């Protein structure tokens, strides 16, 4: 364990793998802090869209990432997010922001600008970090690394239900296509591509419900920490 700071559990995986819900529940159950690293890329995306920046203006995007003025409040159930004075919790999950975030996340200078900000979340009693490169790049010394997967169909359906529940008008076929394109971009980019760390434990959630995955993750963490 990194005793200077605090233990970390990383949960990486593609969109719709259930990672967001699972990491939130695990953090609540452990009573630990929670980092939704995707929200940082989404915040940069919102800032960029507000400024009318192009997805290929790397310098300007990196500046937005460096100067990002944001705040998170995790109440054990939900993370509320502010950009400057404005609450953007809802906008953060919209499809235009998702698409821009995926472009922003492929810019090396943006990723570099967000590294330390993410590591600063590691404070006692511990951290559950949700993302794509938590176990490979941001917290390579994490005590426990999990990698969640699920079939593209299952993930598109989950996302469809989520967005519908929020009252967004979406088409399943379009979501499936966007998801496949985003996966492709996230896993083929040169910097911090989406892939499991060598020492990650893989969990396929296609046939599991959320409670089963949370329980599985909790047992792994508990065993690991009681050994150290």
Q: Could you list the residues that contact ligand DC (CB under 6 A)? A: 15, 37-38, 41-42, 101-102, 105, 131-133, 182, 186
- DSSP symbols for 98-158: HHHHHHHTT-HHHHHHHHHHHHTT--TT-EEEEESSIIIII-TT-SEEEEEE--HHHHHHH
Tell me which residue has its CB nearest to ligand DC. 38
Closest Cα to residue 76, out of 127, 19, 23, 27?
27
Min dist. Cβ of residue 67 to ligand DC (A): 19
Q: How far apart are CA 12 and CA 132, in angstroms?
A: 5
- DSSP symbols for 122-138: --TT-EEEEESSIIIII
Min dist. Cβ of residue 15 to ligand DC (A): 5
Min dist. Cβ of residue 2 to ligand DC (A): 19
Residue 41 or 121: which CB sits closer to ligand DC? 41
Residue 63 or 159: which CB sits closer to ligand DC? 159
Min dist. Cβ of residue 223 to ligand DC (A): 26
Q: How far apart are CA 59 and CA 63, in angstroms?
A: 6
Min dist. Cβ of residue 41 to ligand DC (A): 4
Residue 164 or 222: which CB sits closer to ligand DC? 164
Residue 33 or 182: which CB sits closer to ligand DC? 182
Q: How far apart are CA 143 and CA 135, in angstroms?
A: 10
CA of residue 31 relative to chain centroid, distance: 19
Residue 18 or 131: which CB sits closer to ligand DC? 131
């Amino acid at each position: 364990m990194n005793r200077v700071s605090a233990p970390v559990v990383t949960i990486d995986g593609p969109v719709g793998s259930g990672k967001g819900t699972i990491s939130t529940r695990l953090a609540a159950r452990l009573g630990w802090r929670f980092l939704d690293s995707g929200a940082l890329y989404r915040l940069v995306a919102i800032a960029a869209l507000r400024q009318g920046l192009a997805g290929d203006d790397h310098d300007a995007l990196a500046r937005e990432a460096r100067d990002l003025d944001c705040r998170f409040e995790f109440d054990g159930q939900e993370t509320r997010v502010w950009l400057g004075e404005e609450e953007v919790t809802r906008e953060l999950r919209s499809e235009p922001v998702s698409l821009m975030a995926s472009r922003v996340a492929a810019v090396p200078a943006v990723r570099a600008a967000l590294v330390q900000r993410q590591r600063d979340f590691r404070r006692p009693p511990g951290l559950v970090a949700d993302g794509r490169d938590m176990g490979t790049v941001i917290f390579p010394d994490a005590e426990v690394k999990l990698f969640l997967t699920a079939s593209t169909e299952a993930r598109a359906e989950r996302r469809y239900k989520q967005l519908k529940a929020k009252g967004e008008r979406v088409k399943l076929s379009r979501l499936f296509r966007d998801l496949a394109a985003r996966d492709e971009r996230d896993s083929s980019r040169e910097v911090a591509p989406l892939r499991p760390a060598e020492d990650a434990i893989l969990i396929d959630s296609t046939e599991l419900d959320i409670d089963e995955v949370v329980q599985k993750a909790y047992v792994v963490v508990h065993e690991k920490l009681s050994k150290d």
